Amino acid sequence: MDQLISIILPVFNEEAGIQSTIDTLLNYVEQQKERYELIFVDDGSKDNSAKIIEKSMQLNENIKLVRFSRNFGHQLAITAGLQYATGDAVVVMDADLQDPPEVIPEMIQKWHEGYDIVYGKRIKRDGETVFKKFTASAFYRIFKKISTIDMPLDTGDFRLMNRRAVDQLRKLHEQDPFVRGQVTWIGFKQTSVMYHRQERIAGETKYPLTKMISLAIDGITSFSMKPLQLANIFSIVPIVSGIFSLGYLLASGSYSLASVGVTILLFTLGLLLLSIGILGSYLGRVLDQVNNRPRFIVSETKGFQERNKGIHHLHARSQN
Ligand code: UDP
Ligand code: MG
């Protein structure tokens, strides 16, 4: 039977362009040999987006709609889409056609070659402000330095994932998910295809600076413990200054109230910062435990005989 591809489209106040997105996608889908389902996740739109989608559903049964009770954000809209998608592979893309459907066959090609996850990597971004391009590029580069995962540069949420990748993602229950980080985190065979990010077909970006900052913070706090340990590094300054100050005291022999006071103060400050850093390290462990991600993901096992089946059960359970 033909393979089923689910396309997840998060939608937030996209009435200006959603109809042409639907038309373009249906037109694309008709020309493909795979079967498709289009899953629109309406993230609490206040405009007519949902109505427009519902209308097109009457004409095409491959269109599906999930409606949030309010705006929960792009990342959770994608997360919800993954729960509802039934495809052998799932593609996530913007509802504003910034991610061109023509790239999907390339992604499918890579999937057929054996990759579990295929990222869309932006070579060019049209119609975005210099500020947005600069901040995005800076974020990805800093993130790469401080995070524990090797997230490919210049990728967004446009990607294809096969069934086993989606099933693993669905096991992650983070409250504020940073989906592109999660996707890297689960591992498996990952690759990317280059694409030219288009201009929005209509409407404004739904990612104002505040949302971008909160996404960046979610990304860093989900995949880096470095900020928690910053206090350890900061403590070096007062401790080293304290040592110098003590040396100066001993060498000069002038034990004035001020110089003794400063030395004590510097050491106290250093110890205080160090203690905060230690707290950070423990907090990091608590965070890890609370995130409750599977501790490891097995991609395959080989050579186990029938009698060892119990081990597979163990594997399955420890991943939940
Ligand atoms: N979006 C969403 N919820 C939000 C913000 C955005 O579902 O709170 C959707 C939006 O409709 C679009 C996608 O997420 O389909 C990406 O948003 P947008 O295109 O505004 O971001 P940009 O491409 O400008 O970074
Ligand atoms: Mg967009």
Show contacts of 106-112: CB within 8 Å, 24+ apart. 106/193, 107/159, 107/160, 107/193, 108/5, 108/34, 108/160, 110/160, 110/191, 110/193, 111/160, 111/162
Ligand 1 within 6 A of CB of 135: no
Atom in ligand 1 nearest the alpha carbon of residue 73: 8
> Which ligand neighbours the alpha carbon of 128 most closely?
1
Q: How far apart are CA 72 and CA 86, in angstroms?
A: 22
Atom in ligand 1 nearest the alpha carbon of residue 205: 20
Ligand 1 within 6 A of CB of 7: no
Percentage of the chain surpassing pLDDT 90?
75
Q: What pLDDT, on a 0 to 100 scale, did the predictor assign at position 1?
A: 66
Q: What pLDDT, on a 0 to 100 scale, did the predictor assign at position 23?
A: 95
Quickly state the pLDDT bin for 222 (edges 50, 70, 90): very high
Please tell me the residue having the least CA distance from ligand 1 atom 25: 207
Site of tokens 């997230």? 151
Q: What pLDDT, on a 0 to 100 scale, did the predictor assign at position 314?
A: 53
Q: Please compute the mean of the pLDDT values over residues 308-316 and round it to a whole number.
A: 54
Ligand 1 within 6 A of CB of 10: yes
| HEC string for 193-253 | EEEEECCCCCCCCCCCHHHHHHHHHHHHHHHCCHHHHHHHHHCHHHHHHHHHHHHHHHHHC
Quickly state the pLDDT bin for 92 (edges 50, 70, 90): very high
Fold entry, domain 4-223+293-308: Spore Coat Polysaccharide Biosynthesis Protein SpsA; Chain A (3.90.550)
Of 105-119, 182-196, 297-311, which range is least confident?
297-311
Ligand 1 within 6 A of CB of 71: yes
pLDDT above 50: residue 286: yes
Break the chain into its structural domains and give their ranges. 4-223+293-308, 226-291
Quickly state the pLDDT bin for 320 (edges 50, 70, 90): very low
Please tell me the residue having the least CA distance from ligand 1 atom 19: 205
Q: What pLDDT, on a 0 to 100 scale, did the predictor assign at position 318?
A: 47
SS3 of 175, please? coil
Atom in ligand 1 nearest the alpha carbon of residue 12: 11
Q: What pLDDT, on a 0 to 100 scale, did the predictor assign at position 309?
A: 57
Could you tell me how far CA 72 lies from the centroid of its own chain?
15
Atom in ligand 1 nearest the alpha carbon of residue 42: 7
Q: What pLDDT, on a 0 to 100 scale, did the predictor assign at position 201?
A: 85
Q: How far apart are CA 308 and CA 135, in angstroms?
A: 52
| Greater model confidence, 161 or 257 | 161
| Greater model confidence, 66 or 136 | 66
With residue 65 as reference, give the H or E element that holds it: strand 63-67
SS3 of 18, please? helix
| pTM assigned to the model | 0.86
Ligand 1 within 6 A of CB of 43: yes
| Greater model confidence, 18 or 313 | 18
Ligand 1 within 6 A of CB of 14: yes
> Which ligand neighbours the alpha carbon of 207 most closely?
1
Q: What pLDDT, on a 0 to 100 scale, did the predictor assign at position 51?
A: 96
Neighbours of 7 (CB within 10 A): 25
Taking all residues of the chain, what is their mean pLDDT, rounded to a whole number? 91
Q: Residues 180-206: pLDDT tens digits?
A: 999 999 999 999 999 998 888 888 888
Q: Residues 10-26: pLDDT tens digits?
A: 999 999 999 999 999 99
Instruction: Copy the structure tokens of residue 160.
Output: 């294809």
